[in-house]
């Protein structure tokens, strides 16, 4: 049976083939090599455990989603990213998949030019070309979705990511996927409470999966955030960082929203 994830990846491959016709791999590799070194996203996210500023927020530039449709216009993604940074975001996530999420590589470039914190290319990474492409457009961090890759791809793509000086947010949804991420040496592992094969969301899924995450990893809670209370809940369950998209782009005051999410997580020790 074809899943939502399968359908998205089919479209990703079609769009990727068209870009490769316009810009060959050798060219995109050269463009990537001219970029300044990637920023250290691992350090930006892992320090959340040791300081008193709350969990790290990965704030997302996200126009639409397969489950909700259009979310926000976002005429100026750079300005939105700058507002997130002003609120205390540690990383900016940029959707670059156009068909279901309304994103683009131009959005990635605009965000990179607007902020001086790490930037995540949020896409469905299935071929080597995309990793050089991410670096060419200024990404410091890429998303690797365990459910979309076999073990050899996951291992090889993680190694390529590190060879290019970037870090990877390795996304899992099940205990088996967490085990696969750990086995290949992932340093940053996210648990997405949205099942990408069905698009169902269960915020309680994070607590069920978090117990399987080794403590030395940077642990990221993804999806399901509607407000500060959910950020606090994830923080209490051990998340070092929380990735938030819809709740930020629809808020109206992104700077204040990020600030409030980080402040809420400071209550994690309170009972």
User: pLDDT: is 67 or 136 the higher one?
Assistant: 136
CA distances for 145 relative to 22, 45, 190, 243, angstroms: 26, 19, 9, 15
Listed range (65-69, 98-102, 162-166, 197-201) with the worst mean pLDDT: 65-69
Query: Which pTM was predicted?
Result: 0.94
167 catalytically annotated: no
Enter the tokens of residue 89: 């975001």
Q: Count the domains in the chain.
A: 1
**β-strands 56-61, 91-95 pairing:** parallel
Which tens digit of pLDDT belongs to each residue from 193-205?
988 778 888 888 9
CA-based nearest residue to 130, from 9, 3, 40, 251: 9
Sequence-ordered list of residues with C-beta below 8 angstroms from that of 116, at least 6 positions apart, any chain: 39, 85
Q: One of 90, 195, 223, 265 is an active-site residue; which one?
A: 223
Which tens digit of pLDDT belongs to each residue from 81-103?
999 999 999 999 999 999 999 99
CA-based nearest residue to 193, from 248, 234, 227, 154: 234
CA-based nearest residue to 43, from 242, 246, 218, 235: 218
Give yes or no for residue 24 having a pLDDT over 70: yes
216 catalytically annotated: no
Domain range for 117: 4-269
Q: One of 93, 167, 192, 195 is an active-site residue; which one?
A: 192
Residue 271 is predicted with a pLDDT of 43
Residue 4 is predicted with a pLDDT of 87
CATH number of the domain that 34 lies in?
Answer: 3.20.20.70
Q: Are 9 and 93 in contact (CB under 8 A)?
A: no
pLDDT level of residue 52 (50, 70, 90 thresholds): low
Q: Are 265 and 235 in contact (CB under 8 A)?
A: yes
133 catalytically annotated: no
Q: One of 97, 133, 177, 222 is an active-site residue; which one?
A: 222
Which tens digit of pLDDT belongs to each residue from 222-245?
988 888 999 999 998 989 999 998
CA-based nearest residue to 224, from 201, 207, 200: 201
Mean pLDDT, rounded, for 113-121: 98
**Tokens 């071929």, residue located:** 127
């Amino acid at each position: 049976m074809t899943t939502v994830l399968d359908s998205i990846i089919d479209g990703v491959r079609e769009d990727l083939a068209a870009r490769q016709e316009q810009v060959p791999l050798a060219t995109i590799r050269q463009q990537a090599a001219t970029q300044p070194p990637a920023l250290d996203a691992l350090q930006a996210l892992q320090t959340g455990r040791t300081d008193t500023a709350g969990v790290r927020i990965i704030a997302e530039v996200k126009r639409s989603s397969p489950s909700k449709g259009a979310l926000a216009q976002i005429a100026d993604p750079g300005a939105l990213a700058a507002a997130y940074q002003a609120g205390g975001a540690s990383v900016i996530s940029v959707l670059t998949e156009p068909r279901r999420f309304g994103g683009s590589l131009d959005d990635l470039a605009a965000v990179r030019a607007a902020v001086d914190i790490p930037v995540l290319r949020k896409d469905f990474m299935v071929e080597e070309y995309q990793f050089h492409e991410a670096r060419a457009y200024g990404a410091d961090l890429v998303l690797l979705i365990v459910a979309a890759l076999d073990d050899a791809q996951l291992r090889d793509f993680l190694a390529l990511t590190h060879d290019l000086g970037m870090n990877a947010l390795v996304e899992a949804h099940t205990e088996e996927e967490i085990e696969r991420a750990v086995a290949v040496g992932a340093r940053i592992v996210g648990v997405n409470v949205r099942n990408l094969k069905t698009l169902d969301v269960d915020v309680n899924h994070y607590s069920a999966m978090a117990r399987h995450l080794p403590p030395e990893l940077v642990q990221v809670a993804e999806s399901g955030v509607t407000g500060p209370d959910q950020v606090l809940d994830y923080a209490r369950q051990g998340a070092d960082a929380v990735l938030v998209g819809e709740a930020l782009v629809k808020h109206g005051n992104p700077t204040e929203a990020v600030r409030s999410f980080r402040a809420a997580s400071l209550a994690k020790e309170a009972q």
